Amino acid sequence: MLAAVYRGINDVRMETVPVPKIGPGEMLVRVHSCGVCGTDLKKISTGSHSAPRIFGHETAGIVADVGLGVSQFTAGDRVVVFHHIPCRQCFYCKHKTFAQCSTYKEVGCTGGFEPSGGGFAQYVRVMDWIVQHGTVRIPDGVPFEQACFVEPVNTCMKGIEALNLQSGETVLTIGQGPIGIILSVLARRAGASLITSDLYAERLRIGSSFGLDQTIDASQGKVVERAREMTEGRGADAVILAVGGNSLIRTAMDAARPGGRILLFAQTQHGEAIIDPAAVCVDEKTLVGSYSASVDLQDDSVQFVMNREMDLQRLVSHRFPLSDSPKALDLAAHPQPSSMKIMIQPGSSWEGSPQ
C-alpha cells in the first residue's frame, strides 16, 4: 500500500509498504480521510519520535477485514477510530487524568512500524482494545470528513470542561484556526459570551460564519487593551490560548480579569515561558491545562459530531490525495490566512466512495 512515511526531521516520503496484518480481536480499516493535527506536525518538525513512523490519527474509513472474535463490526462498516483509550483502572484513570494513563499512551492504531496512528496510509490496523472501546460507527448520511472531527472535538470538550464555565461569563479565545473556532463554539454552547482574536482577518470572518461576531484583529496589536474595553475594563473571565508555542502565554494572562482562568490548550512542547507570578498569587488568576481526549466525553463528542450540531466540514479548507501528503503537511505547517483544516484523503480516488 501507499503511505506517507516519516523518516526524520521534516522528512516525510511517499513509500510502498506492506498492508498491516491483523490478529484476533483486531480490524483492518481502509482509510478514506484523515485530518492533519498540530501534534503530528510538531513530531515531524522536532524529531521527538524515532523514525520510521506513519502518523495521522483523525481517521475515518471503511472496515476492510476483521480478526477472529470481532463480532460488533463487519467488512463494509463505516467507522471512525480513536487512537488512544485508557485502562480506566489505574491511579490516573481513577483521578480522571486519562492522558497520563500508561495504557492511554500506547497508540492502538498503526499503518506499520512503531504504532503512531497510521492514518496517512491506505490501510490502518486497529488493535483489540481500540476495536472494543475506541471505534465508532458512522451513521448513514454523515460524511467521512465530518466524522474525522470526533477526536479533536473530544479534546476541545475536555478543555472547556476544565474551565468550568458559568453561564454569562465572557471568554476570549486567542487563535481562530479550526481548533480555536471549535473551542469558541463549545464555550458559547456552555453559556459563555465569546470574544475571538486572530492575526488573520480571513479567519475571523470564518469564525463569524459560526456566529462568533465579537472579534479583535490581533494584527493591529492591543489585544489586551481591546479585551478590557469589551469587558468594562476588567478583562475576560476566561481566556483560551489556542495558538501553539509559549510566546502568547503572558498576553493570555494579561487579558484575563483578576480571579480569571487561562486555558493552555496548544502548549505541548516543554520549555521555558514568561509568566507573571504575581498574576497567579496576588491577582488570583488560575492557569489550567488540558491535553488530548477524555474517554468520559466520548459519547458526547460522538453525538455532537454525528448529529451535526456544528457543520465541521466547513472548517476543511484543503483536501489532498494521499500521494500529495508532503504538500499537505507543508501547508499545514505553514498556514496561510485562508488555510484551515487540512485533510489527507487516501479514499479520494475510490470510485463511488460513500459520503
- Name the stretches of the chain with pLDDT < 50: 351-355
Each residue's pLDDT tens digit, 166-202: 999 999 999 999 999 999 999 999 999 999 999 999 9
pLDDT of 89 reads 97
CA 211 to CA 2: how far, in whole Å? 40
Spatial neighbors of 33 by CB under 8 A, at least 6 apart, are 59, 60, 61, 144, 145, 148, 343, 344, 345, 346, 347
Which of 158, 197, 147 lies closest to 177 in space, CA to CA?
A: 197
pTM above 0.85, yes or no: yes
Each residue's pLDDT tens digit, 290-318: 999 999 999 999 999 999 999 999 999 99
What is residue 4's three-state secondary structure? strand
Pairing of strands 78-81, 170-174: unpaired
The half-sphere exposure of 222 on its side-chain side, counting CA atoms within 13 A, is 9
Pairing of strands 215-217, 316-321: unpaired
CB-based contact 7:351 (threshold 8 Å): no
Q: Cα–Cα distances in Å, from 4 out to 64, 112, 298, 330?
A: 20, 11, 28, 13
What is residue 115's three-state secondary structure? coil
pLDDT of 350 reads 66
CATH architecture of 2-142+308-349: Alpha-Beta Complex (3.90)
Instruction: Name the grid cell of 355.
Output: 459520503
The CATH number of 156-289 is which of 3.40.50.720, 1.10.3470.10, 3.90.1580.10, 3.30.460.10?
3.40.50.720
Could you write out the DSSP letters of every residue in 25-66?
A: T-EEEEEEEEE--HHHHHHHHHT-S-SSB----EEEEEEEEE
CB-based contact 276:250 (threshold 8 Å): yes
Domain parsing of the chain, residue ranges: 2-142+308-349, 156-289
The half-sphere exposure of 323 on its side-chain side, counting CA atoms within 13 A, is 2
* Helix, strand counts (H, E) of the chain: 12, 16
pLDDT of 270 reads 87
CB-based contact 181:153 (threshold 8 Å): no
Spatial neighbors of 213 by CB under 8 A, at least 6 apart, are none
CA 308 to CA 292: how far, in whole Å? 22
CB-based contact 87:44 (threshold 8 Å): no
pLDDT of 143 reads 98
